[in-house]
Amino acid sequence: MKLLLATLHSRYIHSSLALPSLAAACADINGLTTVIREQTINELSGKVLIDLAGEQADIIAFSCYIWNIEQTLRLAAELKLLQPNLYIILGGPEVSYCSHELMTENPKIDAVVRGEGEATFRRLMLLMTGTAGQALSDESLQEVGSISFRSGDEIISAAGSAPLDEFDSIPSPFAAGLADSFKPLVYLETARGCPFSCAFCLSSVETGVRSFSMARIESDLAILMEQGAGTIKLVDRTFNYDPIRANSIWRFILKNNRGSRFHFEIAADLLTDDNIALLQTVPPDIFRFEIGVQSTAAATLENVRRKSDLRKLFENVRRLKANSAVTVHLDLVAGLPGEDFAGFMESLENLLLLEPHHIQVEILKMLKGTAIRRTANQNGYLFSPYPPYRILKSRWLNFEEICRIEEIGDAIEEIYNSGRYRVTLELLAGFGSLAPLFTAHRPVKNGERQLPHAFEAFLGVAADHFPGQSEVIRDTLRFDYCMVGHPGKYLPAFL
């Protein structure tokens, strides 16, 4: 029996952790041949269909997320037309909380694996290959647990299974040689779950944190570093939930790294003095910390059950910036309950004062399975019925303000995160608040993305925002332009 594991990434640089993990979980099943196919949503749909159909698999299992679900469902329907006997399974966060509805609307889907997949999927494959010692029936499928499946015209949802207690029982896809460590971005999981219960996050669905053993973590890291993985992104929702554990892993990396870079999602307020002391020894361009601030209003954070010591968070971000070479990336979520446009701008200003390397602004998404989606009506939220389910309106933000915030996010990406205007922004910060600068800036049009057009647009906005400072702004822009443009060549006329 041939199993095809497939997914569509948003970009080529991404790699799948789910598919090689499932393949590793099923590697010892007699009579099962497994193939992994990773493609992107940007490829021609006809080409993807040809590639998948050409595998002539008996079973295909898709890993589903908000960025690929629509194309995945179309592919599944077309594959079923071409191969009526193909058994189609979906899994992943985008299908785990609406399996009955999804299967009702998409009759070509045969089954959905809900939630944590490794053990459930293995039990299902054992049953389907006939190596489980049971005949395939409604009763035996229900015993698999955590799946929804078809029985004639009926959709049956089996009871959920308990999460795995022995986390190390999940086979390593890296030790099995099933993960592609040569992609620009490789994902690694050292723990599952989150100590927090934020209403907008899918991690709040489960309680507690389960970690692999240090021996397992070190083994996986060693394999990836020895293979020369470019960037290793740890998918742990709060990597430093245990500061001692975090330091142990960081020490192992620093001792054994061969040039890989590492991306961690952390809670800055949980960093200890020992953490900071160790992080001061990290060489440049090795560690990147993504810190979800989300809002700097304590009341807003309380509204979404997010526990955060903002004072400690700010203090530790400043310490990281002042005393370490760690790249600091701060996240804001616009549209949280209780935060209006003025509140968002205040949060943005507070982040700018911390001078991180990058700031990311995201509009709130009503993800399936989250608490905030269940209470959307009572909070006056309107949101798109289509992935990624961005909000369109709330009691605190109207549609025009949400569109304006999206433009501000684009402006931050273009001006702040690009690094083009580093010296000029340092100058402007001394004149006053930078946040209004991003509300006035309009992202350049497609035909105006060359450096001269971008710099000219920024000069106009900055000079208007800080009247009387146009000449000194022009001076620093000349320096910035030479640093990122064409040193030794001519300057544009406006400079």
Residue 444, pLDDT score: 63
- Binning pLDDT at 50, 70 and 90, where does residue 488 land? low
One domain, residues 312 and 404: yes
Contacts 24+ apart (CB under 8 A), 352-355: 352/416, 352/429, 352/433, 352/434, 352/435, 354/314, 354/317, 354/318, 354/321, 354/328, 354/330, 355/321, 355/429
Q: In this structure, are 108 and 16 located in the same domain? A: yes
Same domain membership, residue 197 and residue 149: no
- Select from 394, 417, 440 the last residue of a domain: 417
Q: Are residue 357 and residue 472 in the same domain, yes or no? A: no
The last residue of one of the domains, among 122, 157, 192, is 157
Q: What is the mean pLDDT of the chain?
A: 94
- On the question of pLDDT at 256 being above 50, the answer is yes
- Per-residue pLDDT of 293-341, as tens digits, reads 999 999 999 999 999 999 999 999 999 999 999 999 999 999 999 999 9
What is the bridge-based pairing of β-strands 191-193 and 209-211? antiparallel
pLDDT in tens, 124-143: 999 999 987 888 899 999 99
Q: Model-level pTM?
A: 0.94
> Both 140 and 200 in a single domain?
no
Give the number of other Cβ atoms within 10 Å of residue 122's Cβ.
Answer: 21
Classify each residue of 274-305 as buried b or exposed e, where b means 16 or more C-beta atoms within 10 Å of its C-beta: ebeebbeebeeebbbbbbbbbbbbeebbebbe
Q: How confident is the model at residue 445 (pLDDT cuts 50, 70, 90)?
A: low
Condensed to tens digits (0 to 9), the pLDDT of residues 7-20 reads 999 999 999 999 99
- Note whether residue 474 is domain-resident: yes
The verdict on residue 478 lying in a domain is yes
Per-residue model confidence as pLDDT tens digits over 455-464: 888 999 999 9
Q: What is the pLDDT of residue 482?
A: 87
Question: Per-residue pLDDT averaged across 345-367, rounded?
Answer: 98
Amino acid at 280: Q
196 and 340 co-located in one domain: yes
Indicate whether 46 and 100 sit together in one domain.
Answer: yes
Residue 174 domain-assigned (yes or no)? no
Residue 45: HSE in the Cβ half-sphere, 13 Å Cα cutoff = 11
| Domain-embedded: residue 336 | yes
Choose the weakest-confidence range: 25-34, 157-166, 483-492.
483-492
- Same-domain pairing of 230 and 317: yes
CATH of the domain at 306: 3.80.30.20
> Is 471 part of a structural domain of the chain?
yes
455 and 411 together in one domain: no
Q: Is residue 168 part of a domain?
A: no
- Tell whether 22 is covered by a domain: yes
- Do residue 269 and residue 338 come from a single domain? yes
- Residue 305 domain boundaries: 181-417
Number of domains in the chain: 3
Q: Could you tell me if 45 and 84 lie in one domain? A: yes
Q: Check residue 324 and report its DSSP letter.
A: -
Within-domain flag for 163? no
Please give the Cα distance from 157 to 383 (Å, whole number): 28
Whether residue 192 sits in one domain with residue 97: no
* Confidence label for 241 from pLDDT (cuts 50, 70 and 90): very high
What pLDDT sits at residue 454? 85
pLDDT tens column, 44-102: 999 999 999 999 999 999 999 999 999 999 999 999 999 999 999 999 999 999 999 99
Q: Which of 417, 439, 461 is the last residue of a domain?
A: 417
Cis before 243? omega within 30? no
Q: Average pLDDT, stretch 416-426?
A: 94
